[in-house]
Structure 1
Amino acid sequence: MGEPVTRVPSLQQKVQGVLDELVEDGAETGLQVAVHHRGALVVDAVAGVADGETGRRVSPETLFFSFSCGKVMTSLIAHLLVGSGAIGYGTPVVEVWPEFGAHGKAAATLRHVLTHSVGVPAMPGGIGPAGLPDWSRVCAAIAEAEPRWRPGTETGYHSFTYGFLVGEVARRVTGKSMRRLLREWVAAPLGIDGDLYFGVPRTELARLARLEDAAPDAGGSPGGDAVLASWELRPTAAMGNGRELLEADVPSVGTFTARGIAAMNAAVLDGRLIDSRRLEELTAVAFEGTDRVFGNPVRLGLGYPLGRIGTEPDETPTTFGWVGGGGSYVYADVATGTSFAMTKTRLTPHFGAAQRLADLVAAGISS
């Protein structure tokens, strides 16, 4: 924490102006935006309150539980595993996790996990949010699950199963939990220990923003109901504020500061965490098709959807990242050397703020 900012003055001012406007208009209540460009932190802006009950203000050090945006941390650990030589993208999962081969999943590889094409998108075994902290139970249920399609033939968003798939592979080959790997392999080496978490230590809970639900009529609802449970599709503030989930190692979701997650992706882009060959591989098209959960066309790299939010993948093919339920957004762009992150307190059913700010930053960087 406390990284010096080499701001691009006009861009910093423009982003700050949008954040202030969103809060003043009542569209949002609290936000962070951080942007790295070619090795420098050029935007570090906050606005609004972190806790509507106490009036505590958002600061750059405020931690936000940002749902699926945490998958950028999960995918990175998978790439670090490959870089260490512990496993390959083409390695069958059953080589390290034999039980996973049940019901025709023996052909599934790490590549299939990273492209959400294993075929187990929904949390099996009747497990709901309260069961997520029980790592052994969740992984046993996933191992025993019958796939909805033959691994590698289709893709469909693995909302919560994704983190356990990557995490159990990581645990089998390293003997370490995902929260420990995140700290030892990413946060500590980058000097951002305290900014990235799978499972927030109790001593840090006071730094968390308090999430709030948007008004019920603030927008539409996502599809995918036939496959995923409602809690896997529509995150609520109650879920994201619950201590059990916040403290648990559930690496399909994550808690972080915008400054920290942007710094992490900046280190991905500049070669401090992965080499240029692997960066090229993870941003190449690894699967393209129709998402079996949501029904929309998707283009995936290894561990990330490709393209910037609000654009067609062909327009921004070198951009990769994740959106988070409720409207948060994290992306990196190889071509421009840009790493962007936006966290927020209000859980909206749309990504209007994220797209507006991402477009503003992209235009400001290119000008």
Structure 2
Amino acid sequence: MGRRMVVDVQTRVSGLLAELVDSGRETGLQAAAYLDGVPIVDACAGAAGPPGGGPLGPGSLIHSFSTGKGFTATLVHVLAERGLIGYDTPVCDYWPEFAAHGKDRITVRHVLTHTAGVPQLPAGVTAAELCDWDTMCALVAGQEPLWEPGTATGYHGWTFGWILGEAVRRVTGLTPGQALRRYVGEPLGVSGELHFGLPASALDRTAPLVEGNWAAWLASLPASAPFRRLVVPNPEVWTTAELANRRAYLLADLPACGTTTARAAARMYAALLGEVDGVRLLTPERLEAAAGVAVDGRDRMLLGRYAKGLGYFLGLPEMAGEVTAFGHHGSGGSIAFADRRRGLAFALTRTRLVGGAADTTARLVADEIRSLLPAPGSRRTPAGRRRGGPSSDRGPSGG
């Protein structure tokens, strides 16, 4: 992509974000993209706080809920690359207490693919407990699987973070947040913008979230729906602006979620696809194992069909429904992903939480970028190899 085209993409995306904010549809947006390891978009619009507050900048931090699961999966793959974690190793080999109630057969791969059978939280879990690492690990270790590991898939909305995070803690001696910083953030130069729990010094540059229709959308789910009954069993642990704006929550190490900038998240995914300023996080072989289809079927918690890799959703609508794209989105509409066919890494973070049919902003911005890129079949990677791959329509994931 030539310099003139890069400038055009940046200009078009900046204008689109400004239009979305000026219309009142959005309050604050960041979008970033890389193509073949080169940044082509770093744009933002809106305010970093209530109306009349200061402007949102490219370095403003935004809590993006389950977009952070992509950070957790990436951290696990980087540790696997170093021989510290094995996909088919039982979690209890790292965390013996997790073996209780027949969970000794649950492997790291089961957790990454949401097939472990432990998506549920106790009905009375509180927001204060949610922020206490030892309490939540003890609660998760004490759960009984809802199905035989590996026989079904169901979105592990919260538990994904503690199961993988405690395994990371046991093998590295670091908290998940410290491990993310050492193994992912520091090599890429984004350790100040890629977080699970925030350092207290970062709170003043973190934009508060505001409710659009997301909390109402959660409340509209039938009480019997598996996602609402099991994954988020009471309003205290709903992924809303009220929860995300709490100081204790933002400081808590919660690897099911993440606080980030769009440019840091996009840079991480770009470094999964290939080199970014000389840094590549995974070998091509490891990437193929992580981003290929691992499960493809009905999700027991989300009640729809989803393709999943090892820790990533594949072919979401924001990814143009193409199964060669992988990543994760979060409650309220943030997302970060990599498109292997195009060599594109993309992230969008937002301060206004929106769900259901109104959640179209990330797709709109990603479509704008894709429309300006060379056709995947005609472009070449820097090494001169053509990219290609199948495509498949997929529905939205939970976050």
Q: TM-score range by the shorter chain?
A: over 0.9
Q: Distance in 2 between matches of 1:128 and 1:94?
A: 26
Aligned pair partner of 1:352 in 346, 356, 360: 360
Q: 2:10 maps to which residue?
A: 12
Using structure 1 for the length normalisation, give the TM-score.
0.93
Q: Hey, what's the Cα distance between the residues in 2 that align with 1:71 and 1:232? A: 20
Deviation at 1:250, TM superposition (A): 0.7
| Pair 1:364 & 2:362 matched | no
Taking the aligned partners of 2:62 and 2:210, their CA distance within structure 1 comes to 12
Distance in 2 (CA, whole Å) between partners of 1:232 and 1:117 is 26
The answer on 1:282 being equivalent to 2:290 is yes
Preserved CA contact (<8 Å) 2:319 2:337: no
Q: What residue number does 1:134 align with?
A: 132
Amino acid at match of 1:278: R
Q: Pick from 331, 336, 342: which aligns with 1:336?
A: 342
**Number of residue pairs matched?**
361
Displacement of 1:86 after TM fit?
1.4
Alpha-carbon shift at residue 216 of structure 1 (Å): 7.4
* Aligned equivalent of 1:59: 57
Map 1:42-191; keep pairs closer than 5 Å: 42-52=40-50, 54-124=52-122, 126-191=124-189
Per the alignment, in what secondary structure is the counterpart of residue 253 of structure 2? Answer: coil
2:108 maps to a residue whose letter is L
Cα distance, 1:336 vs structure 2: 1.3
- Map of 1:199-278 to 2, 5 A cutoff? 199-215=197-213, 221=220, 224-228=227-231, 229-231=233-235, 234-271=238-275, 272-278=280-286
Could you tell me which residue of structure 2 aligns to residue 326 of structure 1? Answer: 332
CA offsets, 1:186-220, max 9 Å, x none?
11111112111111111111101111001579868
Q: Which residue does 2:35 correspond to in 1?
A: 37
- Amino acid in structure 2 at the alignment position of 1:335: R
Q: Is the contact made by 1:308 and 1:331 (CA closer than 8 Å) also made in structure 2?
A: no
1:21 offset after TM fit, Å?
A: 1.2
TM-score normalised by the chain length of structure 2: 0.86
Unmatched tracts of structure 1, length 5 or more: none
Distance 1:254 1:6 in 2: 34
Distance 1:13 1:93 in 2: 47
Superposition RMSD in Å? 2.1
Cα distance change, pair 6–207 in 1 and its aligned pair in 2 (3 A): farther
Give the distance between the partners of 1:117 and 1:281, measured in 2 at CA: 17
Question: 1:304: Cα distance to partner?
Answer: 0.4
Q: Following TM superposition, by how much is the alpha carbon of 1:108 offset from its aligned partner in structure 2, in angstroms?
A: 0.6
C-alpha separation in 1, matches of 2:4 and 2:193: 19
Q: What SS is found at the alignment partner of 1:106?
A: helix
SS of residue in 1 equivalent to 2:337: strand
**Residues 23 and 48 in structure 1, CA contact (< 8 A), matched pair in contact too:** yes
In the alignment, the residues of structure 2 paired with residue 218 and residue 169 of structure 1 have an alpha-carbon distance, to the nearest angstrom, of 35
Contact 1:105-1:150 within 8 A present in 2 as well: no
Amino acid at match of 2:251: E
Aligned to 2:104, the other structure's residue is in SS state coil
Contact 1:129 1:231 in 2 (8 A): no
Which stretch shows the higher mean deviation, 125-134 or 343-352? Answer: 125-134
Within 1, Cα distance between the matches of 2:109 and 2:289? 11
**296 and 266 in structure 1: CA distance in 2 versus 1, 3 angstrom threshold:** same
In percent, how many aligned pairs have the same letter? 43
Task: Using the TM superposition, give the Cα deviation of residue 296 of structure 1 relative to its aligned residue in structure 2, in angstroms.
Answer: 0.4
